[in-house]
Amino acid sequence: MLLTILAEGAEASALGLTATGWVAVGVLIVFGIMLWTKVPAIIAGILDRQIAEIRQNLDEAANLRKEAEALKAEYEAKTAGAQAEIESLMERAEVEAATLVEQAQADTKALIARRKKMAEEKIGAAERAAIAEVRAKAATAATQAAEVLIAARHDSAADKALVDKAIGELGKTIN
């Protein structure tokens, strides 16, 4: 038999190797087979692919970060531009409101002046109408008084003389 049985306290051995020696030989054989089948190259390839994927993910993340920062800067610029535009619109609105108030005040003064002038013109027209009415009544009263006086002082002979005189004067005026 290849294995030797020894007395107590002795270790068993086969082909001169103890159990520890055989474990070491087995490990060397496994490592040898792994090197012969190129396992380290396969593992290195797998690791290289994972490294490449991780690098790609990191590059993609860096690009996304750059894009996000660019978008942030763009929106900050737009916000600043919008704020400036809002301030400009507010200033223009205030100026326009002040102009409208001034225009309304001027229009109100002009309207009051026109109405005052119209009222003065109506008062003047009423005065003229009243004066014309008084004159007409005075003329009517004078005519009636003259009629009464003429009727009292003139007779038919005096009327005939006046009519003849008026007809004669008409002839002269027409010629």
11-63 tens-digit pLDDT = 666 677 777 888 888 899 888 888 788 877 888 889 999 999 999 999 999 99
Between CA 147 and CA 134 the distance in angstroms is 19
pLDDT tens digits, 51-106? 999 999 999 999 999 999 999 999 998 898 888 899 999 999 999 999 999 999 99
- Taking CA atoms, 102 is separated from 116, 141, 163, in Å, by 21, 57, 73
Query: Which of the two residues, 157 and 32, has the higher pLDDT score?
Result: 32
pLDDT (mean) for 6-12: 53
Query: For the stretch 88-107, what's the b/e string if a residue is b when 16 or more beta carbons lie within 10 angstroms of its beta carbon?
Result: eeeeeeeeeeeeeeeeeeee
pLDDT at 55: 95
pLDDT (mean) for 119-137: 91
Q: Give domain status of residue 5, yes or no.
A: no
Q: Give domain status of residue 97, yes or no.
A: yes
pTM of the model: 0.36
Q: Give domain status of residue 21, yes or no.
A: no
pLDDT at 131: 92
pLDDT at 144: 87
Tokens at 148, concatenated: 């009464």
Query: For the stretch 127-139, what's the b/e string if a residue is b when 16 or more beta carbons lie within 10 angstroms of its beta carbon?
Result: eeeeeeeeeeeee
pLDDT at 9: 52
pLDDT at 100: 94
pLDDT (mean) for 137-162: 80
Q: Give domain status of residue 65, yes or no.
A: yes
Residue 70 belongs to domain spanning: 38-152
Between CA 116 and CA 25 the distance in angstroms is 128
User: What's the total number of domains in the chain?
Assistant: 1
Query: Which of the two residues, 115 and 170, has the higher pLDDT score?
Result: 115
- Quick one: how many helices (H) and strands (E) in the chain? 3, 0
pLDDT at 10: 54
Q: Give domain status of residue 102, yes or no.
A: yes
